[in-house]
Amino acid sequence: EVQLQESGPGLVKPSQSLSLTCSVTGYSITSNYWGWIRKFPGNKMEWMGYISYSGSTSYNPSLKSRISITRDTSKNQFFLQLNSVTTEDTATYYCARYSTGFDYWGQGVMVTVSS
């Protein structure tokens, strides 16, 4: 069974970087697409970007040059780095596999940006 699990700090200071790891079991990240999605307080959801089976990436332009998604295929993990965070980056962050849709999701990690 495909399983994803996010990990990382729950609290980040403004202007610092947010770094999250998504550990995948039951499926190789060298197949399909692997994305990061966040849900803000309230209901708004935002697609942040993905890394493909080949390692290519695509990002939401709204995140401009702040975002980077990388991977370690030997550990079957992929990573999110979001730089220069502000309080507006406070959200629950999810990693997910994209196949026919986002068909497998992690449980999510709540990240608060606060001093």
Judged by CB, which is closer to other proteins: 36, or 71? 36
- The single residue among 15, 62, 73, 84 that binds other proteins, judged by CB under 8 A, is 62
For 13, 36, 38, 44, 115, the CA distances from 79, given in Å and listed in that order, are: 19, 9, 14, 22, 24
Give the x-and-dash track for 24-53 against other proteins (CB under 8 A).
-------------x-x---xxxxx------
Q: What angle do CA 93, 32, 106 make, to 5 degrees?
A: 25
Residue of 17, 58, 81, 87 interacting with other proteins (CB under 8 A): 58
